[in-house]
Chains A and B, each alone.
Chain A
Amino acid sequence: MIPELGYFSLTLAMVLSVLLCIFPLWGAHTGNLRLMRAAPSLAIGQFAFVALSFAALIYASLTDDFTVSYVAYHSSSTLPWYYKITSTWGGHEGAILLWLLMQAGWTALVAVRTKALPWILRARVLGVLGFLGVGFMIYTLLLSSPFERLLPYFPVEGRDLNPLLQDPGMIIHPPLLYMGYVGLSVAFAFAIAALLTGKLDNTWAKWSRPWTMTAWGFLTLGITIGSWWAYAELGWGGWWFWDPVENASLMPWLVATALIHSLSVTEKRGVFKSWTVLLAIAAFSLSLLGTFIVRSGIIVSVHAFATDPNRGLFILGFLAVVVGGGLALYGLRVSQVKSEGRYKFVSREVALWLNNIFLVVATLIVLLGTLLPLVHKEMGLGSISIGEPFFNKMFAILLVPFAILMGIGPFLRWKQNKWAFLQNKIVVGALASIVITCAWLFSSYEVVTPLTLLATTLGVWVFIATFIDLYSKAAVHGSLKLGIKRLGLSYWAMVLGHVGLAFVIAGITLTSAYSVERDVSMKPGDVAQLNQYQYRFEGVKEIRGANYGGHAGVVTVLKGNDTVTRLYAEKRRYDIGMQFMTEAAIDAGFTRDLYLALGEQLSEGAWSLRIYHKPFVRWMWIGGILISLAGFVILFDKRYRAAPRKDEIERAL
């Protein structure tokens, strides 16, 4: 009964979203305020019914209702309760329902938090969001309902959640990522609404900015957690594979990063307007493209869900409507947009313009590398893969000018600069970062390749340059304490974002350059040496979990005579699917991770073990979290919370 209610509730939500699409857009077109006023309640109603539907699925999963096909194939009675909840987004249909919940949630949030906006804009934003909601609900109801029953013959036991997904990282990774993906639809809706209104100015940018920043923050966090999950769970010590699905999340992230920078220029200076709109359309289109790639299964990937050509076709059609419609509208209206400000070459505008160029080029490279194998295959040229070295090389090349620019950018003022003011900061910053990096690397490592030195210097440079800028901006107010208080939150967002990326750069560089691994075969009592640590294999013991059994390899890690830690690297066998899973044991540290994975039993008592020493690997995720905070601090900025001034409203209409 409950699952049917879930389906019914989703149907009601669909009706509301159709109304949400039509009423406000038509009302805005004809100037009918009553129609426009209906939008917020429709949006909230839509959210309530989608939430009810989602709750129904969770209920079915928690109560082990295996008559529901989705539950039967993604859960089991022995699964711990928290994984029963997360199993609702462990498969295709449930993941789409989660997407829908997020979409409706964002829409409701927009309805509640935009009371200050003029009705005509508010109605159009909500109308566009309603349209997107309709698309996804049709998809869910017709092609991917999670409420289908297996009656009258249903299994007595479910097939269990994929063991890979039984991990804390998996509890939060998809919701965060989807918050980001779907949040970009708000930026998209604002852009389309502004195009429909025909007024693209800095007030539009100001209203859209906090939404875009928040969505981007979630996307950043989602990608970061995903990378950490891959590291901890796949047992290979890898954290990024340039897998099509990872690329699918990286592309919208890169464009959204360009977008938040471009939005700041549009807001503060009134230039780059049409470009900003284009980026907003592109960011959401790429997140749809990502969904298409994952859901249609056209690209083989470790993430691929069971695939269905109909589903792929629907998403492709929807993508065509969204991208095509967005671009057509853009083409019609863009000629009316005029830039207001003027600026010289050495200015913050140009620095941010270059930032956008680099980010867009990076996106195109990922797009090329992701889609080329597909095109190649469809053209009958045979099946190919594009290796990690391609992406690594391209990103390494792009990073050099990008990171240099990233240090200098904040120094620059709007409009124009005198070179003499910059010179000191740049020279001091560059010298300091070279000296510090050399001292750091040459004292810690015997071999330092020029590339490692260069890349680490770039990370240090971004870090130092950001703090030089922070100091110089705070110091102008006389006392440093006072100066720091006066800096705006969007400035702090910049500091967090840039320092975060500095950590990411340094972390990736050092862990790529200095990670070592050994595959060894060990008997109890054997000691393997890796860097300054000794690993003593104590033997293997049996383990038993709620829905799995297996072995744990016990290893004592020693450094000289001191015991560092004891690690339990598990090899689990899940009862229902009979799948083997390596559960790596990790001793995490600020400057290094010790990572241990148990292989297979070789001969009597001997086991194969893989030992990794990964320096600074954690810096990547620390950096990622810092970057995502940049997206969230702006929510506390009073500037974006205050009601818009009257002249702003007049200009927007």
Chain B
Amino acid sequence: MNPRRKKRLLVIIAVLFGIGGSIGLVLYALQENINLFYTPSELIDGKGPNKEKPHIGQKLRIGGMVVPGTVQRNEQSLKVSFDLIDTGPLVTVRYQGILPDLFREGQGIVAQGILIEPNVIEAFEVLAKHDEEYMPAEVAEAVKGIKHEKPKYNLDSGS
């Protein structure tokens, strides 16, 4: 092999190794960081055709409506707990900290956290969208069984 070809070969091998290595790394990191989304009924009854239930200790996202009257605050420690609902069973979410501005009873929220009991989630993040009309798309889909509900034109409000 002449030196130029040898150099090219080396470069190509290096590139292939680089690509292979990075794909491996990406897949590994992905596996650890994909959080499945559940609704309260999926969490209790199982999700998908095989009715798979999450295991205790799993990191997941849950979305549902906050059941009015279930928000309980601990005045001293900023601990708060509330129930979420979509179409059936209730799931309790515990959280410590200040809730987002738009957290309100009866509104749709998404929480991210760890399942500590079959129906209890310890959340480290609670999201409520900054839009009074908002219902998370995932929640809307689960509750209403509709996909991409086209909003009425006049609900167009800001980013």
Binding site for B on A (CB under 8 A): 69, 73-74, 90-93, 95, 159, 161-165, 235, 300, 302-309, 345, 357, 361, 365, 368-369, 372, 382-387, 389-390, 393-394, 397, 519-521, 577-582, 597, 599-600, 602-603, 606, 608, 610
Contact = CB atoms under 8 A, between A and B. Distances in A.
B75 A603 contact: yes
A382 B158 contact: no
Contact of A73 (B29, B34, B102, B157): B157
B158 A305 contact: yes
Given A164-B130, A308-B150, A599-B98, A390 B30 contact: yes
B25 A397 contact: yes
Contacts of A393: 29, 33
A154 to B, nearest CB: 11
B149 to A, nearest CB: 9
B159 A90 contact: yes
B35 A608 contact: no
| Most chain B Cβ neighbours within 10 Å, of A161, A306, A357, A602 | A306
A302 B129 CA distance: 7
B111 to A, nearest CB: 12
A383 B138 contact: yes
B29 A580 contact: no
Nearest to B141: A383
Contacts, number: 130
Chain B contact-residue range equals 35 or more
Contact of B35 (A90, A308, A385): A385
A382 B159 contact: no
Contacts of B48: 382
B132 A577 contact: yes
Interface in B90-139: 96-99, 101-102, 112, 129-132, 136-138
Interface of B: 7, 18, 22, 25-26, 29-30, 32-37, 47-48, 59, 61, 73, 75-78, 96-99, 101-102, 112, 129-132, 136-138, 148, 150-151, 153-159
Contact of A521 (B29, B35, B76, B131): B76
Instruction: Give the 5 A-B residue pairs with the shortest CB-CB distance, closest first.
Output: A162-B158, A390-B33, A599-B98, A306-B156, A383-B37
B75 A602 contact: yes
Given A303-B159, A521-B76, A610-B98, A384 B7 contact: no
22 contacts: A91-B157, A92-B156, A95-B159, A164-B130, A304-B159, A305-B156, A305-B159, A308-B151, A365-B26, A382-B47, A385-B37, A386-B30, A386-B33, A386-B34, A387-B35, A393-B29, A394-B26, A394-B29, A519-B96, A577-B132, A610-B97, A610-B98
B108 to A, nearest CB: 12
Given A74-B157, A91-B156, A387-B59, 12 more contacts: A90-B159, A162-B157, A164-B130, A164-B159, A308-B150, A361-B22, A383-B138, A384-B35, A386-B34, A579-B130, A599-B78, A608-B78
